[in-house]
Amino acid sequence: MNRTNQKPFRLTEWLFFNFMIKVPKFIPFLFKSQIWQFPNPDRHIYLTFDDGPIPEVTDSILSILEEKQVEATFFCIGDNIKKYPDLFKKIIAKKHAIGNHTFNHLKGWNTSNETYIQNVLLCQAEIEKHHFSVALFRPPYGKIKPKQSKLLREKGFKIIMWDVLSRDYNPNTDSTTCYNNTIRHTESGSIIVFHDSLKAKNNVLESLPKIIDALKEKGYIFKKID
């Protein structure tokens, strides 16, 4: 892809990731090969957590999900799986879905295609050490080049994006804002992003139980991504 073609792609995704809580309809239209929602008539929604597993956070998230009887999808960093294998085993034991989030949390825009794909496969190898195989992938920061996406899809990965961003990672965001961001913009089929990280710890742990209760009251049913 030449420089002229790269600019609209990068500008569009940069605007969406940095300023948009609810992904506008034209983004999935432009990037049809990536999954942004799972439209359905049954009010199913999909809660996802990026960046784990991590001490002080993962266990607490798992406890909340168990208490609320909710299943979710965890997009894990390979290096964190390697450092904290027991935490990773707990996610599997609770029967939540697992996704690949690269080994080193790489930004696709700043990484060569070869290096990026190898880093994804390195994470995949770490996951498979636990006798577990996944076909789900989420690009860190939502930043992936079209060629990288194509290469991963050719290897059998589903590229899972999102349509609702809680912004729990933002130091200028509090748990009330995370709650409002999520409740206002979730609809049937929504893929919602939270973070299993120290940076997001306070926001996610304070807002998550309230969000789950509120969305259940609205008739939504939480599902993991297959």
Bridge partners (DSSP) of residue 194 are 49
Question: Which residue of the set 101, 168, 195, 196 is catalytic?
Answer: 195
Question: Which residue of the set 42, 50, 101, 168 is catalytic?
Answer: 50
Query: What span, in angstroms and rounded, lies between the C-alpha atoms of 146 and 143?
Result: 10
> Which amino acid type is present at position 175?
S
50 part of the active site? yes
Q: Give the C-alpha distances (Å, rounded to integers) separating 41 from 73, 190, 218.
A: 21, 12, 14
**Nearest CA-CA partner of 13 in 121, 132, 161:** 161
51 part of the active site? no
Q: Are 178 and 47 in contact (CB under 8 A)?
A: no
Which residue numbers are catalytic?
A: 50, 195
